[in-house]
Chain A
Amino acid sequence: MIRAARIVLFVALAMLARPLAASELRGTGNLGIVIERASGSVMIVDAGAHRMLGRVDGLGDLSHASAVYSPDQRYAYVFGRDGGLTKIDLLTAAIVKRVMQAGNAIGGAISDDGALVAVSNYEPGGVRVFESESLVQVADIPAVGANGKASKTVGLVDLPGRRFAYALYDAGEIWIADFSKGKGPAVTRLSGIGKQPYDGNVTPDGRHYLVGLFGEDGVVHVDTWENPLKATRILDGYGRGEEKLPVYKMPHLEGWAAAGGVLLLPAVGRHELIAVDLRDFKERGRIATYGQPVFAVARPDGRFVWVNFAHPLNDTIDVVDTLTMKVVHRLKPGPAVLHMEFTPRGHEVWVSVRDADRVIVYDAATFNKKAEIPAAKPSGMFFTARATRIGQ
């Protein structure tokens, strides 16, 4: 009896210790990756078990790295700072394919049909598009604006109908590249949108593309259901002419959920979020926060928005109740909180704490710490459920 129990225990332990293998039957819906920015590696994690399943090395410079997923949620496409585009198999914890597609990149997106991966580049600028299967380049779209300047591109997202939207940082334009007719895109250019667009994102329904401006106080709105497309300024002059504070980290537009019909956007150079009404895109109020917001990530149900802050106030997270529009909780996870990622239906949130070399998992309702996972300078975290969302 005791011997049998021992054998069972031994087998159970052996199974736990067994490395991730494709031959092992399992789904990927609970998996994700954590970027380890300084070591150029990626952790493959099990969000349900709060543990690392494997680590993939050799991804180059991962400062400002992000990832998207294949529709079957098996493959991650990781966009590195150094222009590296790497396709990772989550089940084998291995690199399937890797290309150096540019000198300096900022992010990417995958088309709604999962066939095309687009990368947004700083050097040489523009957007390059690849077949997701082979990573063979299918299109190169240099971003030369109406001012004749080659431009860095930012805020690249997928739109329904095999389209991508992005903004031209140096030229102040928004471009929408439509691949629905094949590999040669039809590009719509909206020029004169404002100074230094720094990031963009689309509402979860894939309809409204919003771009934040750094060079002036304002946000640009494109309703992608309109024909012809046009760019409209919203929240114009939200800083009310006040001098903005030094910005030690660019805000990011990510993690939107329709929170009671309102979207919370970081105000550049200010310690506040701006609430935008999704019906008319007018301001519905401000929320004073601990520091300058970097990410304002909505819990998937939209009730709460978790906010982290720019250096040097980056040890704190504020939780905003979107019903009362007030900060209802303040957490101190540790030095350099870089990113927050909710589990698909929002019961937990993972928080990367760069200078503590760890990821902390919180109960999203009680704010209790549920787990800590060691990680080397962790930054972005991406769960496979992103594969099912528009604009990731």
Chain B
Amino acid sequence: MSPMTQRSQKRWRWWREALSAIAFAVAPYSTVAGDTVPDPVKLANLVRQDCGSCHGLTLKGGLGKPLTADRMTQWDRSQIVHIILDGVPGTPMPPWRPLLSEADARWIADSLKKGMLQ
């Protein structure tokens, strides 16, 4: 069925595993390289769970400000993207640029403004 010999199949499997191991290891940083397409499932989980540890799971705030749609009206999209990527100096809000791409941040800003993640 496959044109590959058993040996080359084995080798291919080895490479595939090695590559996926590397991909897994660098996954948290992979978005640094280029503006990849945002992964809505991953980003929604990140916002709810990880942003949620300071902003609350329902985004109603905690140590960080509330991120509910009604609160998001005071900033425009580019301001929110800027806050996400570069943080707010003097506060615990960290710059997410090492972990998120511009496209990711735009997706998060839009979703917050629409109240999609509450």
Q: B57 contacts A311, CB within 8 Å?
A: no
Question: Does residue A246 face the partner (Cβ distance < 8 Å to B)?
Answer: yes
Is the C-beta of B36 less than 8 angstroms from some C-beta in chain A? no
Asked if A104 and B99 sit within 8 Å, CB to CB, the answer is no
B86 CB to nearest A CB, Å: 10
Contact B58 A82 (CB under 8 A): yes
Contact with A along B54-66 (1 / 0, CB 8 A): 1011101111000
Among the 9-residue stretches B4-12, B43-51, B72-80, B106-114, the one with 4 or more Cβ atoms under 8 Å from chain A is B43-51
The range of chain B's interface size is: 20 to 34
Whether the pair B62, A196 counts as a contact (CB closer than 8 A) is no
Chain A, range 36-79, C-beta contacts under 8 Å to B:
37-38, 61-64
Interface check A312, CB cutoff 8 A: yes
CB neighbours (8 Å) of A38 from chain B are 48-49, 57
Q: How far is the CA of A377 from the CA of B48 in the complex (A)?
A: 12
Q: Which positions 72-110 of chain A face chain B at CB distance < 8 Å?
A: 81-82, 104, 106
Q: Tell yes or no: B34 within 8 A of A by CB.
A: no
Judge whether B53 is part of the interface by a CB distance below 8 angstroms.
Answer: yes
Residues of chain B within 8 A (CB-CB) of A61 are: 56-58, 60
List of B residues within 8 angstroms of A257 by Cβ: none
In the complex, the chain B residue whose C-beta lies closest to that of A40 is B57
Quote the shortest CB–CB distance from B9 to chain A (angstroms): 29
Decide if B92 touches A354 in the complex (CB within 8 Å): no
For window 298-349 of chain A, which residues contact chain B by CB distance below 8 Å? 311-313, 336
**A-contact bits for B78-109, CB 8 A (1 contact / 0 none):** 00000000010010101110110000000000
> Interface majority SS on B: helix, strand, loop or mixed?
loop
Contact A81 B98 (CB under 8 A): no
Q: Which residue of A lies closest to B48 (CB)?
A: A38
A247 within 8 A of B: yes
Q: Which of B45, B56, B90, B94 contacts A247 (CB 8 A)?
A: B94
Contact A64 B60 (CB under 8 A): no
Measured CA separation A7–B72 after assembly (Å) = 64
Of A106, A312, A336, A355, the residue contacting B62 (CB under 8 A) is A106
Q: List A contacts of B99 (CB < 8 A).
A: 248, 312
Q: Which of B24-52 touch A at CB < 8 Å?
A: 28-29, 45, 48-50, 52
Question: In the complex, A215→B91 CA distance in Å?
Answer: 8
Residues of B within 8 A of A64 (CB): 53, 56, 62
Kindly identify, within residues 231 to 256 of chain A, every residue whose CB is under 8 Å from any CB belonging to chain B: 246-250
- What is the CB-to-nearest-CB distance from B22 to chain A, in angstroms, rounded to a whole number? 16
Is A123 at the interface (CB under 8 A from chain B)?
yes
Contact in complex: A249, B53 (CB < 8 Å): yes
Complex contact A63–B56 (CB within 8 A): yes
Are B49 and A336 in contact, CB atoms less than 8 angstroms apart?
A: yes
Give every chain A residue within 8 A of B95 (Cβ-Cβ): 246
> Is B62 within 8 A of A249, CB to CB?
no
Residue of A nearest to B95 (CB): A246
Give A215's nearest chain B residue, CB to CB.
B90
Asked if A248 contacts B62 (CB within 8 A), the reply is no
Contacts of B52 in A (CB 8 A): 63
How far apart sit A355 and B42, CA to CA, in the bound complex (Å)?
11
User: Can you list, as one digit per residue, whether each of A115-128 has a CB less than 8 Å from chain B (1) or not (0)?
Assistant: 00000001100000
Is B45 touching A37 in the complex (CB atoms < 8 A)?
no
Most buried by B among A81, A123, A215, A354: A81
Residues of chain A lying within 8 A (CB to CB) of residue B50: 248-249, 311
Which residues of the other chain, B, contact A377 by a CB distance below 8 angstroms?
Answer: 49
Q: B56 touching A104 by the CB < 8 A rule?
A: yes
Interface assignment of A152: CB less than 8 Å from any CB of chain B: yes
Question: Which one of A198, A246, A354, A355 contacts B98 once the chains associate, using CB atoms below 8 Å?
Answer: A246
Which residues from chain A contact B60 at a C-beta distance below 8 Å? 61, 82, 104
10 nearest A-B pairs in the assembled complex, by CB-CB distance: A246-B94, A63-B57, A312-B28, A63-B52, A311-B50, A61-B58, A246-B95, A81-B56, A247-B94, A61-B57
Give A residues with C-beta under 8 Å from B.
37-38, 61-64, 81-82, 104, 106, 122-123, 152, 169, 196, 198, 214-215, 246-250, 311-313, 336, 354-355, 377
Known contacts A106-B63, A215-B90, A247-B94; 17 additional CB pairs below 8 A are A38-B48, A38-B57, A63-B52, A63-B56, A63-B58, A63-B62, A64-B56, A81-B56, A81-B62, A152-B63, A196-B92, A198-B92, A246-B87, A248-B96, A248-B99, A312-B28, A355-B49
Some 21 contacts from A to B, beta carbons below 8 A apart, are A61-B56, A62-B57, A63-B52, A63-B53, A63-B56, A63-B58, A64-B62, A82-B56, A82-B60, A104-B61, A106-B62, A122-B63, A123-B61, A169-B63, A196-B92, A214-B92, A246-B94, A247-B94, A248-B50, A248-B94, A377-B49
